Amino acid sequence: MGYDSNINASAYDVSDTTMDAVVQLEYLRRAGMIGVNANISYAIDRFLRNTSYDTVDPTYSLEFDKASGRTTGSLDFGATRASQADAAVNLYTTSWDYNASLNIRYPVIDRYSFTGTFAYDYVDYTKTSGQPLVNLTTYNSSLSLFYILSDERDLFVTYRYRDEQCANDTSTVDDALSLGVHGKVLWDINGSLSVGYQILNPRGVPSAGTAPQGQYGDLTANGSVTWNANRELAFTGSLSRDYSTTPIAATTDTTAATLDGKYRFDPALSAGAGIGGGEDRFLGPLGLNPGTGEERLDYYFTWNTSVNYKFNERLNATLAYAFFENWSNLGFAVFRRNTVSLALSSRW
Predicted model pTM = 0.91
pLDDT in tens, 241-293: 999 999 988 999 999 999 999 999 999 999 999 999 999 999 988 888 887 88
Are 61 and 38 a contacting pair, CB within 8 Å?
yes
List the single range of 77-86, 202-211, 283-292, 311-320 with lowest mean pLDDT: 202-211
The amino acid present at 91, given as its one-letter code, is L
What is the spatial distance between Cα 26 and Cα 37, in angstroms, rounded to a whole number?
Answer: 7
DSSP 120-156: EEEEEEEEESSS----EEEEEEEEEEEEE-SSSEEEE
Q: What is the CA radius of gyration of the chain?
A: 22
pLDDT value of position 213: 66
* Fold observed for domain 28-41+56-346: Maltoporin; Chain A (2.40.170)
Q: Is the pLDDT of residue 338 over 70?
A: yes
What is the spatial distance between Cα 235 and Cα 117, in angstroms, rounded to a whole number?
Answer: 29
pLDDT value of position 73: 96
Mean pLDDT estimate for the chain: 93
What is the spatial distance between Cα 2 and Cα 201, in angstroms, rounded to a whole number?
Answer: 43
Handedness of CA 290, 291, 297, 298 (dihedral sign): negative
Backbone angles phi, psi at 285, to 5 degrees: -60, -40
pLDDT in tens, 87-142: 999 999 999 999 999 999 999 988 999 999 999 999 999 877 667 899 999 999 99
Read off the pLDDT of each residue in 299-327 and give the average, rounded to a whole number.
97
pLDDT value of position 205: 60
Distances (CA, A) of 197 to 155, 158, 224, 244: 17, 11, 18, 15
